[in-house]
Amino acid sequence: MRERLLEAAADEFTENGYAAAKLADIARRAGFTKGAVYSNFDSKQALFAELLSKRSMELAGRVIDIVSGLGPGDAAGRGGDAIASWVVAEPRWPLLVTEFGIQAGRVPDLAEGYRRERRHLRDELQRLIAERATVWGVADALNARRVATSLLALISGLAVEHSVDPDEIDENVIGDAITELLAGAISRALHRD
């Protein structure tokens, strides 16, 4: 039941946005009553927060699978390409995350949940980046927290730019920007005195 609700919520949120999405419509999509939503999630915010965490970790897992076993240079390029492919394939999802972040910035009740989920995601990305840095022998020189924070901010910004101007901000531009961020961080770590 919970999985069906999360799938229905993903469709409803990406089609209508966070603010316009209704729990009754999510329940209907999943084939349940609104009471079923509340028996699994405390609120629309809680449902979205779980969905955000799940989707973000799926992307992080895919990227790590792609770069595992690669050297730092190849990993930066392949990781950038994988993230760019996701942004272009699912353009409404990053916009939804940005919309929720804007709402959270204006509505204190949303802010706590959003902040908790984003910190959790940064923690997980930091852990994954630190693991790769250890494999590459640059763990002491690479600030994994800073790279994770920069990566999340860059993805959000590129997703918005892509949604407004997909011809100019295409998959190649997105991939190059992310690759440059990752490659720059790795290069600085490798060449630190």
Determine the Cα–Cα distance for residues 160 and 174; give it in Å rounded to an integer.
11
Averaged pLDDT, 19-45? 92
pLDDT category at 144 given cuts 50, 70, 90 is: very high
pLDDT value for 117: 83
DSSP output for 149-187: HHHHHHHHHHHHHHHH-TTTS-HHHHHHHHHHHHHHHHH
Q: pLDDT tens, 109-127?
A: 888 888 888 898 899 889 9
pLDDT category at 193 given cuts 50, 70, 90 is: low
pLDDT category at 5 given cuts 50, 70, 90 is: very high
Determine the Cα–Cα distance for residues 193 and 189; give it in Å rounded to an integer.
9
Angle, vertex CA 63, rays to CA 44 and CA 86, nearest 5: 60
Averaged pLDDT, 133-147? 93
Buried b (16+ CB within 10 A) or exposed e, 104-119: beeeeebeebbeebbe
Phi then psi dihedrals of residue 136, to 5 deg: -85, 0
Averaged pLDDT, 12-32? 93
Give, in order, the Cα–Cα distances in Å from 133 to each of 38, 144, 152, 184. 42, 8, 18, 13
pLDDT of 58 over the 70 cut: yes
pLDDT of 153 over the 70 cut: yes
Give the max Cα distance, the chain. 61
Q: Helices in 69-164 by DSSP H: which ranges?
A: 72-89, 92-106, 108-135, 144-164
Report yes or no: 94 and 159 within 8 Å, Cβ to Cβ.
yes
Domains and CATH numbers, the chain: 1-41 (1.10.10.60), 44-190 (1.10.357.10)
